[in-house]
Amino acid sequence: MKIKTNFLKIISDINTPVGVYLKLRDLYSKIFLLESSDYKGSENSLSFICFDSKAQISINNNNVKFKIHRKEVEYKLEKNKKATDYLNKFKNQFELNKNDFNFPSNGLFGYTSYDSVKYFDNISLSNSKEIDIPEILYDVFKYVIVFNHYNNELFIFEHLYGRDKKSEIKKIKNIILGKPVTPFEFKRDNIEKTNLSDIEFKKLVDKGVNHCKLGDVFQIVLSKRFYQKFKGDEFQVYRALRSINPSPYLFYFDYGSFKIFGSSPEAQIIIKEDKATIYPIAGTFKRTGDEELDKKEAKKLIDDVKENSEHVMLVDLARNDLSKISDNVIVERFKDIQFYSHVIHLVSKVSGKVPINKKIELISGTFPAGTLSGAPKHKAMQLIDNYEKSNREFYGGAIGFMGFNGDFNHAIIIRSFLSKNRILYYQAGAGIVVKSDREKENSEVYNKIEALRGAIKIAEKI
């Protein structure tokens, strides 16, 4: 399908992504916001708003559905095919337009749930969905707004597909330059609940440690889910979260019947041209709130045998995952200390050279992240499916952008919420190894959701 692209550029010094999103969201039923708190360099200084969907691919319960210009085609996912085969077929229907911009202006925006690994790998998972959202869902949009924070520029891209010749780019510009819109209030309704008590989770940790001792796995990530009923506008929670927990990946995807939003520190995988990169994050200590004490805690984290053991395993797993398709796989950075709002993490960088025609194969070969499953990954996922009470669905999946040329930039869906039917769902896990302590692993879960809980509280006061 041919694509004609129009664009306008305006100065964005008084128009923020959040402000523009609020102006547009009541006019379009499906609208996505992608931001980054990392504006230090030009490479990560972009935010995106996508709206007016013109095409969609969804995969759920082995059914594949293409929607293009109101036409729908359905397929049964064949046993000898992977989800990536259908993603390839879908994205290849769009003619790639070359332009002079060094940033994405069109492509597929959406998510891949954790449980969709069954469409990439030879693994069976139980069907115990609690939330029931599509397992894979990507859209192609007519409008993509790109903020370049480095240069204070805003680009409005209008993509006309096939026979569509109706341009409304000036109308969009006028909306952006119009009066600001105020969001509605947010209020909690009742107390937070969880699907596992602390005692139950500690018993789960013991089982994980036992599997490590038996040699079934070297590491396994087990998690628990939390629930918070609410009234009002959950976008206020996103606003609070991006404020108290700035991260490389900030996102708010409004699908109408449900929303996924969060502040993720970790990329699933980044593929740009012929380079693929994974940033394993493993090893976690709680921040103290005091800068000098945090430095001491960081030193303790570097010296902690258990945390280092966990990190090394997951760096090795990242190397192995990349090596399935990539050449020249190297560890560019090893065990960097990174400070987030409520935790301190160990972070490494592993990269490799990927053949241009193998990009989408690499995506399936590295999913899900080892930092959300364990090692060996296949056995860890089987045990997770056996022990956790319901399918993970959104948690541990990936969300972001896929270019028509195969470039890929997704965050792991952690430090995130799913909102459906006036309930916020959020989840966190702990990486369990032989030397794990049940009390510390239980505390790690709460350390990881502290920013989410904090955002809920602050949202009531905005």
Known catalytic residues?
345, 371, 395, 415, 431
Take residue 443 and report the two structure tokens written for it: 């505390």
- Residues ≥6 apart with Cβ < 8 Å to 359: 271, 276, 406, 407, 408
- Residues ≥6 apart with Cβ < 8 Å to 369: 266, 268, 278, 280, 396, 398, 412
Take residue 315 and report the two structure tokens written for it: 């760096």
Take residue 400 and report the two structure tokens written for it: 């972001």
Do the beta carbons of residue 323 and residue 352 sit within 8 Å? Answer: yes
Tell me the C-alpha distance between 215 and 32, whole Å: 43
Do the beta carbons of residue 112 and residue 21 sit within 8 Å? Answer: no
For residue 58, give the nearest of 117, 114, 141, 135 by alpha carbon.
135
For residue 403, give the nearest of 359, 444, 440, 343 by alpha carbon.
359
Q: What's the Cα-to-Cα distance from 438 to each of 216, 306, 415, rounded to whole Å?
A: 19, 13, 22
Directed axis angle between helix 438-459 and helix 198-214, to 10°?
Answer: 140
For residue 346, give the nearest of 388, 283, 266 by alpha carbon.
283
Cβ burial, residue 189 (10 Å; 0-12/13-18/19+):
exposed
Take residue 224 and report the two structure tokens written for it: 């628990």
Q: Dihedral sign for Cα 451, 456, 457, 458, please.
A: positive
Q: Residue holding tokens 């002079």?
A: 100
Alpha helices in 46-129, H assignment, sequence order:
83-91
Q: Which residues pair with 82 in a beta bridge?
A: none
Directed axis angle between helix 17-25 and helix 235-244, to 10°?
Answer: 170
Q: Dihedral sign for Cα 182, 131, 144, 67, please.
A: negative
Q: Specify the pairing of strand 408-412 against strand 3-11.
A: unpaired
Helix (H) or strand (E) holding 323: helix 305-323
